[in-house]
Structure 1
Amino acid sequence: MKKHILIAGGGIGGMISALYLKKAGHDVTLVEKNERLGGRLAFVREKGYKVDEGPTIVLLPGMLKGILHEVGIDETSLDLLQLDPLYTIQYQDGTSYTKYSDSQRQLDEIRRVFPKEDQGFLKFIEDMTNRFQEGQQAFLEKSFHEKRTFFTKENMKILMKLKAYRTVQSALKKYFSDERLRDAYALQTLYVGGNPYEASAIYSLVSYSEHAHGIYYLKGGYASLVDILERQLIEMGVNVRRNEEVTQLEFEGKRAVKAKVNDEHIAADAFVINGDYPAALKQLGLDEQDRRKYVPSSGCVMVYLGLNKVYHEAPVHQFFMGEHFDQHMKEVFQTKTVPQDPSFYTFNPSIIDPTLAPEGCSVLYMLIPVPSGDHINWEEEKDFVGNMLNRLEKRGFPQLRESIVWKKVRTPNDSLREGLFEGGSFGLAPNLFQSGVFRPQVKVAETDNLYAVGASIHPGGGVPIVMQSAKLMASVLLKDLNDRKEVKLSG
């Protein structure tokens, strides 16, 4: 029997959820407070230029394409370009290390830059190959809203095998003796706002996945995925309501019965929250549903530039390491102070995609990990961005300052204003006790028909993983509705 499902929030998680639930034959209403859908997957546009505002590195292409296929989107809709080399890491001492998908090229590069570390790299790849498959099946593809399903003998064995009790950095000591190389395989925890000195070694699988599954670029920018999803929502008949906001849910016992949308009260059989989970619960007056004290992910200062030239010699993705990566991480996650010598990331997509800027011009994006929270007034830190641009110019982009046509800056203060939990850029921090069963699940505890998707929900952050959370949520919701069209949980 056809049911009505209301989704509060039109980010990637909400859009994919809507497509799965509509495909299962239900009426779906998607309510988005802004004019545009897509959440953090958006563009910064200025003077004929455009650049991704948020995610830039396309990982897990198989998962991404598989989920899109399941909701009726043909993979020919995506113009994915594989990058090999993956990216380059520039160290403060002048060392440059490039990562490749091709294993022989990677071995040659390790032998060139880090002699005697090649056997450790081969052992790392061998161990992670075995662990990735088991970890994906045991944790990425399962919901743990029923906690007993997590604490099985088999899962505990897999967690021990994954070295979940160790941190990313400590686990890498088994493979690499050079601290610079350990940093090269630990910094990926920052993709989801985690501290490599605290995050579980499970997250070592991210750097392995880059080698095994590749890094891709979506032509037109990652945020062009939003247009593809939006077309499918319209084609399938999802009722999309923009510039409207769910401000309250009405309950009868443990059952949500109506959503207040502006001044209207809309009844539905099930409700889905797609927002930054702790902040969204608080906004809806549901913080009593979950009283845990959560830890936010790191924040970011993002600098977006439109340039009157193209840096053809610079790769698409680059990481520039500060002198002491461990000190930078302490400033971000422990002392929560403005970093003095931060490592940072750059995105230079115009060398492979001329559609992003006027002819002969380019866009450039710089991301600097900084503390989340509201204790730093970034508008008063006027020298910070200027100093970072000076470093960028010296370390890889000569004559940068004189090439800038326009500049935009985004800080944790902006993230706070937009409703991201404590100004963190990636949802909840991916520490051990906010991962797996300990992370908020796709079904909100102590409710009969309230569900959640997004970066703060299991399995976690990153576009394909958020899409996977939507898939898990749809499966649980449909099962609860006794719908026979339960989503098949394939890889």
Structure 2
Amino acid sequence: MVGGGVGGLATAIRLQSAGHHVTVFERNEVVGGKLATYVRDGYTFDIGPSLVTLPDVFDEVFRAAGTTLADHLELVRLDPQFSYRWADGSTLTVPDRDDDTAAAFEAFAPGSGDQWRSFDARGRRIWDVAARTFFAGPMSNPWALAKRMRSPFDLTAIDPLRTLHRSATSFFDDPRLVQWADRYATYSGSSPYAAPATLACIPHIEARFGCWYPMGGLDELRSAFAWVASQVGVEIRTGTEVTGIEAGERVTGVVLADGARERADVVVANTDAEHLYADLLHDSVALARVRLAKRSTSGFVLCLGVRGLTPNLTHHNIWFSESYRAEYDQLDGGSLADDPTIYACVSSVTDPSQAPDGCENWFLLVNTPQGIEVDADAYGDLVLDRLAARGVDLRPRIEFRHTMTPTDIARRYRSPGGAIYGTSSNGKRAAFVRPANRGSKPGLYLVGGSSHPGGGLPLVTTSAKIVAEMIAEDLGR
């Protein structure tokens, strides 16, 4: 296993539990990939994923190892889920349950309660079909998807031919709620003006299955994966970088940074597909195919230790830009947004252990183009100025700030351009040009955010299931 991200660990657990001997090589000192933590002066920040959805996906992996997710984590279902704030001063706080959500939308904009119910019903239909088709197996070509469909109507049900923005405008009259729906494209590092309406299943998933937080922080999930992997017998070697993959007609093993060679019948790459084919396997044909897929956005991160408590703050918060169209025009053009949408996770609202008494741990994230150089001090000031203009002036209360730029993300995770989610969902062909789970050589497999079905904790864990099933089929066990 090249890389010990969540996708790699989930694959390793499944394969080891099925009787294979698995060794994970991780270049960093801890496994978990982007599921990472920054700790300073009594503050703890989740600097990767900050939200757990579809916990049953993780529980299925743990059950394959003879345990359960609940044996290792205390998961709390968040209520409210998010607070959304607009430039006009309006706020929508989304509760956890369907009836309450419809009422919140109706109170926010008369008539929108029923519109939300219709939008959610469409999301339910998309999810119910996608779960048994798109997410149920590999996507090497359109026929792979077609074979899992029960009827031609399944294709129209997942709404792949119009954009998320176009779908949102067909359901909501209020432009603020269109922007609310459009934001879900960012879950895959994509643009609502280019990503398919299929992504409308994401808000439905949150409404139906909940938004969850593991007490102690997302690092508890990382630790649980690592512990279960070790318990079933996976050999985990941290601080050990793979610098090459050896192959003839099929892969035969890996080369480590110290020159050592490790033989293997199967190599699973839990690393960016572009890095895999450019730097490890040196396969120019496969690399050219991979580069057909568009990279996801990157991000600019601010971790702030903040004195005092902020009124009306929730665990997850969004301050929208005045114009999403203008923001994405800049991002798509390769520039930083002048007026960025700001996401803030303040987990100390739910879990006081994440900050000193009377303080808050602010994790701020704004979208940026991948591959861009960012002046961390200047752009950090801009983000804080924008928050202050919205009535939340953290500047006098900040004890420290820690930043991450696209360059930092690229360096830390071997992610070209700092693309957080690997490949984006932009364009009608995105699902079919995303790197396949079966690699360019027999015995090579890809798992993780840059391969099918995409980025995010539930999807990379689903990717692990797909890869483990492919290996079982190919090896006959």
Query: Is 1:288 aligned to 2:285, yes or no?
Result: yes
Query: Of 98, 102, 115, which aligns to 1:103?
Result: 98
Query: Is 1:243 aligned to 2:242, yes or no?
Result: no
What corresponds to 2:40 in structure 1?
Answer: 46
What corresponds to 2:421 in structure 1?
Answer: 426
Q: Deviations over 1:392-448 (max 9, x none)?
A: 2342534x1121111101111112223212221111111245643332121113x21
Query: Is 1:367 aligned to 2:365, yes or no?
Result: yes
What corresponds to 2:451 in structure 1?
Answer: 457
**Using the alignment, how far apart are the partners of 1:287 and 1:13 within structure 2?**
25
**Using the alignment, how far apart are the partners of 2:444 and 2:300 within structure 1?**
34
The residue type equivalent to 1:355 in the other structure is: S
What corresponds to 2:153 in structure 1?
Answer: 157
**Using the alignment, how far apart are the partners of 1:103 and 1:250 within structure 2?**
52
Query: Is 1:259 aligned to 2:258, yes or no?
Result: no
The residue type equivalent to 1:322 in the other structure is: S
Query: Is 1:393 aligned to 2:388, yes or no?
Result: yes
**Using the alignment, how far apart are the partners of 1:367 and 1:39 within structure 2?**
18
Q: Deviations over 1:49-76 (max 9, x none)?
A: 2110111021122223233323333222
Q: CA 1:266/1:434 → structure 2, altered by over 3 Å: closer, same or farther?
A: farther
Q: TM-score, normalised to structure 2's length?
A: 0.94
What corresponds to 1:139 in structure 2?
Answer: 134
Contact conserved, 2:35 with 2:218, CA < 8 A, in 1? yes
Contact conserved, 2:13 with 2:61, CA < 8 A, in 1? no
What corresponds to 1:197 in structure 2?
Answer: 193
What corresponds to 1:179 in structure 2?
Answer: 175
Contact conserved, 2:126 with 2:200, CA < 8 A, in 1? no
**Using the alignment, how far apart are the partners of 2:83 and 2:120 within structure 1?**
19
Alignment of 1:401-416 (within 5 A): 401-416=395-410
Gaps of 5+ in 2: none
Query: Of 72, 85, 91, which aligns to 1:90?
Result: 85
Query: Is 1:297 aligned to 2:293, yes or no?
Result: no
State the shift of 1:463 in Å: 0.5
What corresponds to 1:355 in structure 2?
Answer: 353
Superposed CA RMSD in Å reads: 1.8
State the shift of 1:118 in Å: 2.5
State the shift of 1:383 in Å: 2.4
Q: Which moved more, 1:431-440 or 1:193-202?
A: 431-440
The residue type equivalent to 1:362 in the other structure is: E
What corresponds to 2:326 in structure 1?
Answer: 327
Aligned-partner SS, 1:41: coil
Contact conserved, 2:253 with 2:266, CA < 8 A, in 1? no
**Using the alignment, how far apart are the partners of 2:30 and 2:415 within structure 1?**
17
Query: Of 18, 22, 31, which aligns to 1:24?
Result: 18
What corresponds to 1:4 in structure 2?
Answer: none
What corresponds to 2:51 in structure 1?
Answer: 57
**Using the alignment, how far apart are the partners of 2:127 and 2:17 within structure 1?**
30
Query: Of 115, 125, 128, which aligns to 1:130?
Result: 125
Query: Of 215, 219, 233, which aligns to 1:219?
Result: 215
Q: CA 1:8/1:156 → structure 2, altered by over 3 Å: closer, same or farther?
A: farther
What corresponds to 2:374 in structure 1?
Answer: 378
State the shift of 1:121 in Å: 1.7
Q: Deviations over 1:75-128 (max 9, x none)?
A: 221111111211111000111112122222222222221112222222222222
State the shift of 1:312 in Å: 5.3
**Using the alignment, how far apart are the partners of 2:112 and 2:123 within structure 1?**
17
Q: TM-score, normalised to structure 1's length?
A: 0.92
Aligned-partner SS, 2:252: strand
Q: Deviations over 1:346-385 (max 9, x none)?
A: 11110111111222222111111111114xx313x64221
Gaps of 5+ in 1: 1-6, 484-491
The residue type equivalent to 1:40 in the other structure is: K
**Using the alignment, how far apart are the partners of 2:284 and 2:39 within structure 1?**
36
The residue type equivalent to 1:370 in the other structure is: T
Q: Deviations over 1:146-179 (max 9, x none)?
A: 7632244747532222220000010122211111
Aligned-partner SS, 2:422: coil
State the shift of 1:248 in Å: 1.1
Q: Deviations over 1:231-281 (max 9, x none)?
A: 11221221111211111112122x011211231111111111001221232
Query: Is 1:275 aligned to 2:271, yes or no?
Result: yes
Q: CA 1:423/1:287 → structure 2, altered by over 3 Å: closer, same or farther?
A: farther
Alignment: residue pair count: 470
Q: CA 1:303/1:297 → structure 2, altered by over 3 Å: closer, same or farther?
A: same
State the shift of 1:282 in Å: 1.3
**Using the alignment, how far apart are the partners of 1:139 and 1:167 within structure 2?**
18
Identity of aligned residues (%): 27
The residue type equivalent to 1:424 in the other structure is: A
Q: Which moved more, 1:93-102 or 1:426-435?
A: 426-435
Contact conserved, 2:96 with 2:210, CA < 8 A, in 1? yes
**Using the alignment, how far apart are the partners of 1:442 and 1:233 within structure 2?**
21
Q: CA 1:312/1:281 → structure 2, altered by over 3 Å: closer, same or farther?
A: farther
